[in-house]
Amino acid sequence: MEIVIFGATGQVGRHLVSQGLLKGYKVRAYGRNVHELPDINKNLQLIKGGVFDEADVYKAIEGVDAVFSVLGGASDGTDKTRSLGMKVISSEMKKAGIKRIIALGGKGVLDAPDGGLLIDQEDYPQEFVPVGREHQKAWEILRDSDLDWTFICSPDIIQADPTGEFITSSNIPPLPDNGRVNAGDLALFMLQEQERNEYIHQRVGISEI
């Protein structure tokens, strides 16, 4: 199994890299600051590049079994890395003939009980709307593609190792929903989903139990 991780040096990306290597995967870690990762595993390939560089993104994607996107950026809406990055990644995946992508977004993209998205509800926290719209655009790019996508809609991310004590649901927040999830558990679930393919063409709600 060979995977590429966009956003490999971020909060969740680092867990994806380490857990992927523990599984024996060949891991391509892509990003501007990948030199920050310890290059001590023969199965780890560090690829320095920007997510807007189509040629570099294509080279990173070519030949892998699955793509993981955990792109980050500023939360005030001025940073378009999540949406424009997804546009480039999905386009280059199509060129390379790669179908499977598992991407990380925000909770606001899940369905609300009375219709619409959570981000569109009056009681949705306004401070999260700008970054939530970026997540929404990234999801819409995947939704409108012919890729085999899964979009993880994360609540608050806690910098903590995996516990395996989390719950997921399709397109809506899970019950119980405690509004938080460990970075390590997000990575664990994303890798499990790559193996199980339970949520193809679906958004996923997730929460620590």
pLDDT tens profile 148-159: 999 999 999 999
pLDDT under 70 in the chain at which residues? Answer: none
- Are the beta carbons of 146 and 93 closer than 8 angstroms? no
Answer whether the bond into residue 176 is a cis peptide, omega within 30°: yes
Is there a contact between 7 and 31 (Cβ–Cβ < 8 Å)? yes
Our CA angle for 134, 36, 103, nearest 5°, is: 30
pLDDT given at position 175: 95
Domains of the chain: 2-208 (3.40.50.720)
Residues of the chain with pLDDT > 70, as a percent, come to 100
Query: For position 10, what pLDDT does the model report?
Result: 94
Tokens 């560090």 locate to: 46
pLDDT of residue 190: 98
The pLDDT of residue 40 = 79
Residues shown for the chain: 209
User: Which pLDDT score, from 0 to 100, does residue 77 have?
Assistant: 74
Q: What is the pLDDT of residues 12-56, one digit of tens each?
A: 999 999 999 999 999 999 999 998 898 779 999 999 999 999 999
pTM over 0.75? The answer is yes
Helix 13-22 vs helix 183-196: crossing angle, to nearest 10: 50
